[in-house]
Structure formats: structure tokens, C-alpha cells
Amino acid sequence: MIDERLPQPSDSVRIVLHDPNDPDSFLVVREIDDPDFKLPGGKLAEGESPEDAAKRELREELGEANPAIEIKQVGTLPNNDGVSRRYIFVGMANKENVGVTDEVAEVQTVRLGDIPEGKHREHIRAAAEFALAHLRSEKK
């Protein structure tokens, strides 16, 4: 379900990049300044649309060489503050066809059952489950 309210500055985007050969697997990144893994994404800039923010975050985290990664918004999830939202996008990519930038220390491919421990774990799980359910419903 897509939330029709206007984006707020505290909103963020998260991109679930599923492996085309194994849709139950997806990519997580560990940024240079954060020891915990997260989904690619981040906060919206002032006046930025969720789609533009998602594309910007992909470039910032996985490099300019990835314009071929097509993404689409599949809905929103609430953030812990109960006010802001996470816009959830899905796309297809695997570890071998993404780069990393100076913001990212590491990229891993994970499944729902092996999401790394850390402060973002439940956010990763919720977004990945949401995106996976969307992909499965599209195949029906």
C-alpha cells in the first residue's frame, strides 16, 4: 500500500535489492561510519521525492555505475517515532554487479534468516518481508 501523504523531511527510503537468481536473498550495506548493516537508503532531502531520494542513495552507496538498477516503490512502513515513514523500494541486483563508494565499507548478500545482528536488524527484516511479499503477490 502506498501512503499518499506528502513526504516529510524526517521520512526515509529503503531499497531491497533482491538477487535475480535467488529472490529470497537481498543486499545489505555497512557504511564506513556505522558498524551495523542496513538496507541501502537514507533520509529524504528537503523537497526531494521518495523516488529521487532512492535513486540518489543508490548512487551514493553503490556507485554511479549502477543506473541500470531499476527500482520501484512498493509501499511505506512506519518509523519507530510513529510519525515518519520509510518508503520501501524494490529492485534486482546481486553483489557481483554493484560497486561500493567511499560511504560503504562492505556489501553482503543475506536471507531473512541470516540478517546480521545490529540496531537496524528489525528494520531490515520488516522492509525485506514487505518487499518479498509484494514480489510474490506480483507473480500470482
pLDDT (tens digit per residue) in 114-138: 999 999 999 999 999 999 888 778 7
**pLDDT for the residue 96:** 77
Q: 84: pLDDT confidence band, cut at 50, 70 and 90?
A: confident
Q: Examine residue 23 and state whether it is found in any structural domain, yes or no.
A: yes
Q: What CATH code is carried by the domain that includes residue 106?
A: 3.90.79.10
State the average pLDDT over residues 96-110.
86
pTM: 0.88
Q: Examine residue 4 and state whether it is found in any structural domain, yes or no.
A: no
Q: Examine residue 3 and state whether it is found in any structural domain, yes or no.
A: no
Report whether 12 contacts 87 (CB < 8 A).
yes
Q: Examine residue 70 and state whether it is found in any structural domain, yes or no.
A: yes
Q: 47: pLDDT confidence band, cut at 50, 70 and 90?
A: confident
Report whether 66 contacts 98 (CB < 8 A).
yes
Q: Examine residue 36 and state whether it is found in any structural domain, yes or no.
A: yes
Q: Quote the domain boundaries for residue 33.
A: 12-135
Q: Examine residue 6 and state whether it is found in any structural domain, yes or no.
A: no
State the average pLDDT over residues 57-79.
83
Q: Which DSSP state fits 61? A: H
Q: Is 9 exposed, middle or buried (0-12, 13-18, 19+ CB in 10 A)?
A: exposed
Q: Examine residue 101 and state whether it is found in any structural domain, yes or no.
A: yes
Please tell me the total count of domains within the chain: 1
